[in-house]
Amino acid sequence: MNTAFHKLVLASNNEGKCREFAQLLAPFGIEIVSQASLGVTEVDEPHVTFIENAIAKARHASRQTGLPALADDSGLCVDAFNGAPGVLSARYAGEPKSDARNNALLIERLQGAMERSAYYVCVLVLTRYANDPAPLTAFGRWFGEIIDAPRGENGFGYDPYFLLPDGRTAAELSPEEKNAVSHRGKAVRRMIAELREI
Ligand code: IMP
């Protein structure tokens, strides 16, 4: 792997994500530095696609730090809603963001719907420099369906309502089981493969 990637700034202010990515990337000799520790300012995420928002975040962090930057954007897409909540997943029910209110709104809007299929998406973007014309990208998708009654204590967000083909919800998986099959786990493994190529 190119030594330029041994230290990456993570374009996220979410401590949990920083920990998760640090763990996932450490085995590959990649050190993650949080953008907060480098004084990177917040950037808008005004776009309707995950990839555009992830590019905006990574480019901004590279511009402000001069380092290669890794950004992620993720969310839940419900087929019956043409992919909503999508990029608005974290704030589906408005401010302040609340998993409980997001889930209540999702279930309410799906009442009586026959089509309950949905998928999580995670997009990763790695910019080598701010004006990188060819950022590395990796997608992960995880398919399931939305149920009315929550099950499971693990995970976060929409997980207790996200039913997998094996009959468990995402919240009934251990963190290791979730990483092995989730949108985020898949995207990270694909990004590692991209990094190995260059
Ligand atoms: P962001 O990527 O930090 O903008 O957050 C995306 C939002 O999508 C989260 O706040 C959750 O609502 C939802 N989301 C993304 N990944 C997951 C997941 O693995 N489980 C449950 N909800 C998720």
The domain segmentation of the chain, as residue ranges, is 3-196
* Closest ligand 1 atom, residue 85 Cα: 8
pLDDT of residue 123: 98
Cα–Cα distance, 32 to 61 (Å, whole number): 13
pLDDT of residue 5: 77
Measured in angstroms, how far is the CA atom of residue 2 from the centroid of ligand 1? 30
Q: Is 90 in the pocket of ligand 1 (CB under 6 A)?
A: yes
pLDDT of residue 1: 62
Q: Is 13 in the pocket of ligand 1 (CB under 6 A)?
A: no
pLDDT tens column, 78-135: 999 999 999 999 999 999 999 999 999 999 999 999 999 999 999 999 999 999 999 9
pTM of the model: 0.93
* Closest ligand 1 atom, residue 92 Cα: 12
**Residue nearest to ligand 1 atom 7, measured at CA:** 90
Q: 3-196 in CATH: which number?
A: 3.90.950.10
Backbone dihedral angles phi then psi of residue 66, each to the nearest 5 degrees: 75, 10
> β-strands 69-78, 117-127: how paired?
antiparallel
161 within 8 A of 108, measured Cβ to Cβ: no
Q: Is 185 in the pocket of ligand 1 (CB under 6 A)?
A: no
Residues of the chain falling short of pLDDT 70: 1-4
Q: Is 157 in the pocket of ligand 1 (CB under 6 A)?
A: yes
Pocket test for ligand 1, best of 98, 158, 172 (most atoms within 8 A of CB): 158
Which uninterrupted H or E stretch holds 19?
helix 15-25
Measured in angstroms, how far is the CA atom of residue 95 from the centroid of ligand 1? 15
**Residue nearest to ligand 1 atom 12, measured at CA:** 90
Those residues whose C-beta lies under 8 Å from the C-beta of residue 117, and which sit 6 or more positions away, are 78, 79, 80, 143, 144, 145
Among 185, 189, 188, CA closest to 71:
188
Q: Is 159 in the pocket of ligand 1 (CB under 6 A)?
A: yes
> β-strands 69-78, 31-34: how paired?
unpaired
Which of these is catalytic: 73, 132, 148, 166? 73
pLDDT of residue 29: 87
